[in-house]
Amino acid sequence: MPKRTDIEKIMIIGSGPIIIGQACEFDYSGTQACKTLRNLGYKIVLVNSNPATIMTDPGMADATYIEP
């Protein structure tokens, strides 16, 4: 499928509150999505309620919002 040229930014919504033992799976998949989409040239806007994840690292997204 060809890349759409009308889309410049993509919002990724984090997994939110996590259960002990399930944190790394959700964080890993979100982090991989951020990396892949940035490599494809998209600007990433991340919304997550958990500031203690790798996804909220300043280098993962162009804009990060921590919202409950």
The three-state DSSP-derived secondary structure of 16-55 is: CCCCCCCHHHHHHHHHHHHHHHHHCCCEEEEEECCCCCHH
Q: Cα dihedral sign for 57, 9, 34, 11?
A: positive
Residue 65 lies in a domain: yes
Number of domains in the chain: 1
The answer to whether residue 36 sits within a structural domain is no
Residue 63 lies in a domain: yes
| 47 within a domain of the structure (yes/no) | yes
Rounded to two decimals, what is the model's pTM? 0.79
pLDDT digit string, tens, across residues 17-33: 766 666 677 788 889 99
Instruction: Assess if residue 37 is contained within a domain.
Output: no
Residue 9 within a domain: no
The answer to whether residue 20 is domain-embedded is no
pLDDT digits (tens, 9 = 90+) for 50-68: 888 888 888 899 999 998 7
Classify residue 22: in a domain, yes or no: no
